[in-house]
Amino acid sequence: MSKQRILSLTLAVAASIAVSGAAYGLDSKEPIQPIAAAKTKNPALAELGKKLYFDARLSKSGFISCNSCHNLSMGGTDNLKTSIGDHWHEGPINAPTVLNSSMNVAQFWDGRAADLKAQAGGPIANPGEMGFTHKLAVDVLQSIPAYVAEFKMVFGSDQVTIEEVTKAIAAFEETLVTPNSRFDKWLKGDKKALNANEVSGYKLFKESGCVACHNGPAVGGNSYQKMGVVEAYKTASKAEGRSAVTGKDADRFNFKVPTLRNVELTYPYFHDGEAATLKQAVETMGRIQLGKKFSDDENARIVAFLKTLTGDQPSFKLPILPPSSDLTPRPQPFGK
């Protein structure tokens, strides 16, 4: 049953390779394609979104911004097993990287948000994350003259709305792609970009079946898969995955396959953050998803390949946020 599943996935991937490989004019048909640099359609919208992404006034406490858990200094994650929320709430799940997240089939580990815009509103209003409400967040922004002016410039209206807020944040997040990894250079024909050990790790990654789920430009992010295909995954995490969205028992422990782009930066790994290192993650994945026990040498070669997936990190000036006015509701970090 599980081998059949892998086979059908592999066939599906092979079909997609035939299409997408050609688009890049690559010599060989590879299951992973290079990432293209971001083309920003509306720079003013993305610039506004950048400010909002860094603005902790979208939280009840005034202390937590999008960047707190999806930190762009640290691979778009917080590098914690699970995240810290309002009043130091212990989050239930590992914060996925925001880098290249526009390529995901859907957002969150269980795919409950269709796109980045739908995602962006979630943490603001989650009591265990930013702990605010959409109305209060909008009230704060509406009280800040420089924001009102910027929203008006971008959207043409005097009235700030949560739809505008999430649209702007999503537009900024769409710029957070990471092209020019050594692996992408190699894919594009620069055969010196990887050493023999890394190329051998890539071959093993393909031959072992990792690529059945981790494929496409984001090396993942484009399907849901069961965590524990060959062997059940043991975890204290209560996250049930896709079934929480679909209500189907068959979707239990199905999670969105994470991107492996920049994976050297996005530790710890898995939805529960229980794999501290790439070595552990590769060992577990081989065992529970593929029924393989990689030797130390094989594991090290796959890890060496994975470290070639780190691309250019987003490069921009730290945004300077407009000050609150006398009318701005003050943050409530220690209120009930």
Q: Supply the residues annotated as catalytic.
A: 129
Nearest one of 268, 233, 283 to 82, comparing CA atoms: 268
- Least distance from C-beta 168 to a copy of itself, angstroms? 16
Cα gap 294→142, rounded to integer Å: 56
Task: Count the neighbouring beta carbons within 10 Å of the beta carbon of residue 105.
Answer: 16
* Residues annotated within a binding site for heme c: 66, 69-70, 210, 213-214, 285
- Least distance from C-beta 310 to a copy of itself, angstroms? 8
Paired strand residues for 85: 89
Nearer to a copy of itself, 139 or 264 (CB): 264
* Residues annotated within a binding site: 66, 69-70, 210, 213-214, 285
Per the CB < 8 A criterion, the answer to whether 302 and 290 are in contact is no
Nearer to a copy of itself, 38 or 118 (CB): 38
- Least distance from C-beta 203 to a copy of itself, angstroms? 23
Cα gap 112→92, rounded to integer Å: 15
* Residues engaged in binding a copy of itself (CB under 8 A): 54-57, 61-63, 68, 71-75, 78-80, 84, 87-88, 90, 264-265, 267-268, 276-279, 313-321, 323-324, 326, 330-331, 333-334
Give 214's DSSP letter: S
Nearer to a copy of itself, 10 or 79 (CB): 79
Nearer to a copy of itself, 16 or 313 (CB): 313
- Least distance from C-beta 320 to a copy of itself, angstroms? 5
CA atoms within 13 A on the CB side of 103: 28
Which residues fall within 8 angstroms of residue 308, CB to CB, at 6 or more apart? 181, 182, 183, 186, 193, 194, 198, 202
